[in-house]
């Protein structure tokens, strides 16, 4: 299968990428589930935005860190993971489903780490006061 990636993250470049069928089907499923273009899904896998990692948090303002700390898992991701876990109790997941479930869990784990680091940075800066329950802590 061939996918042409155009415009993201470098508008001046486009490439053709050959993917194994299993990976392409997984990308299709994630794109369908998350209502994104398949190109966006593949780009997110290949080149996550720097602000999505932990390293990018250090340079954020307090308001931006508060926004990260308040971030929640998109409901469509939660529903899909619940569907996959329900299916797993009833039968063995396909390889593609297992990979998708693993990816969703990894995304949730990264979100938890990002929220935790954002709260830590806010605390170190003296910008965090009051009850942490608003952040799911």
Are 137 and 77 in contact by the 8 Å Cβ rule? The answer is no
Tens-place pLDDT, residues 91-127: 999 999 999 999 999 889 888 898 999 999 999 999 8
Q: Are residues 31 and 75 in the same domain?
A: no
Would the pTM count as exceeding 0.75? Answer: no
Q: Could you give the number of structural domains in the chain?
A: 2
* Torsion angle, alpha carbons of 16, 18, 21, 22, to 10: -100
Are 34 and 74 in contact by the 8 Å Cβ rule? The answer is yes
Q: Is residue 134 part of a domain?
A: no
Q: Are residues 63 and 14 in the same domain?
A: no
Location of structure tokens 């508008």: 11
In 27-132, DSSP assigns E strands to none
Distance CA 137, CA 122 (A): 14
pLDDT band at 40 (very low <50, low <70, confident <90, very high): confident
Give me the domain span that covers residue 39: 1-47
Q: Are residues 60 and 115 in the same domain?
A: yes
Look at residue 32 in the predicted model and tell me its pLDDT. Answer: 80
Q: Are residues 18 and 72 in the same domain?
A: no
Q: Is residue 137 part of a domain?
A: no
Q: Are residues 72 and 101 in the same domain?
A: yes
Nearest residue to 23 (alpha-carbon basis) of 37, 4, 2, 6: 2
pLDDT band at 137 (very low <50, low <70, confident <90, very high): low
Tens-place pLDDT, residues 42-97: 777 765 555 457 778 888 899 989 988 988 888 899 999 999 999 999 999 999 99
């Amino acid at each position: 299968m061939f996918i042409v990636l155009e415009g993201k993250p470098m508008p001046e470049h486009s490439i053709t990428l050959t993917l194994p069928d299993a990976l392409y089907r997984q990308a299709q499923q994630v794109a369908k589930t998350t209502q994104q273009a398949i190109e966006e899904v593949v780009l997110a896998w290949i080149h996550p935005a720097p602000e999505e990692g932990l390293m990018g948090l250090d340079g954020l303002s307090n308001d931006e860190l508060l926004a990260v700390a308040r971030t929640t898992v998109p409901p469509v991701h939660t529903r899909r993971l619940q569907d996959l876990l329900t299916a797993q109790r009833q039968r063995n997941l396909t390889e593609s489903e297992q990979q998708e479930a693993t990816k969703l869990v990894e995304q949730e784990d990264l979100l938890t780490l990002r929220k935790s680091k954002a709260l830590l940075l806010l605390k170190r800066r003296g910008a965090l006061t009051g009850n942490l329950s608003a952040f799911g802590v």
